[in-house]
Amino acid sequence: MNIAVYCASSENAHPKYYEMATEVGGILAKQNHTIYYGGACVGLMGKVADGALANNGKVVGVIPEFMTNIERHHKKLTETILVKTMQERKRVMFTNADAIIVLAGGCGTWDELFEVMSLKRLKQFSGEIIIINTDGFYNPIIEMLKQTVAEKFMAEEHLELYKVIEIPKELESIF
């Protein structure tokens, strides 16, 4: 199975997020999944890749050419796909994914999450969307989604577009 992993390239987060990202990469590699991710060697992105590669996993990085200096692309990947734009990066990752896993991150990660949720709602994506809610990181967004339903901007069934898990080990029973 091809699994896209959306996460941060930040190098300043709490160590627990990096540990979790490394664990996710290792779990997916041990299950023989191919990881598609943003291609960086830094932040959670780098840790996901490193965790998978340390377990003989297949990792495909998708990175815009202009970002190879900003996010410092990973040089030891199974494959690197250089694209022109962020939109092309998201398209390549999404179109190759059978499932999506979302780790902690900032506006880029949230953009990817909300886009894939919208696409699933529009029946343009049928795979699992798994949010790993490390220490409640995504609680405010989950509450916002519930509020959106309460205010009638989304239907109740839209809360079923995604699954929330607390620890990476729970992935073992999903895939």
> Cβ neighbours of residue 172 under 8 Å, at least 6 residues apart?
27, 31
pLDDT at 39: 95
Question: The tokens of 172 are what?
Answer: 């073992």
pLDDT at 70: 73
Cα atoms in the Cβ-side hemisphere of radius 13 Å centred on 158: 19
Give the start-to-end residue ranges of the domains of the chain: 2-135+162-173
pLDDT, one tens digit per residue, over 58-102 is 999 999 999 877 768 899 999 999 999 999 999 999 999 999 999
pLDDT at 101: 98
**What dotted CATH number matches 2-135+162-173?**
3.40.50.450
- For residue 2, the SS3 value is strand
One digit per residue, the tens of pLDDT, for the chain of length 175 reads 999 999 999 999 999 999 999 999 999 999 999 999 999 999 999 999 999 999 999 999 999 999 877 768 899 999 999 999 999 999 999 999 999 999 999 999 999 999 999 999 999 999 999 999 999 999 999 999 999 999 999 999 999 999 999 999 999 999 8
pLDDT at 172: 95
Specify the pairing of strand 99-102 against strand 79-83. unpaired
C-alpha distances (whole Å) from 59 to each of 3, 32, 47 are 10, 11, 12
Residue length of the chain: 175
> Cβ neighbours of residue 6 under 8 Å, at least 6 residues apart?
37, 38, 93, 100, 101, 102, 103, 105, 109, 112, 113, 116
pLDDT at 67: 86
Question: The tokens of 157 are what?
Answer: 């069934």
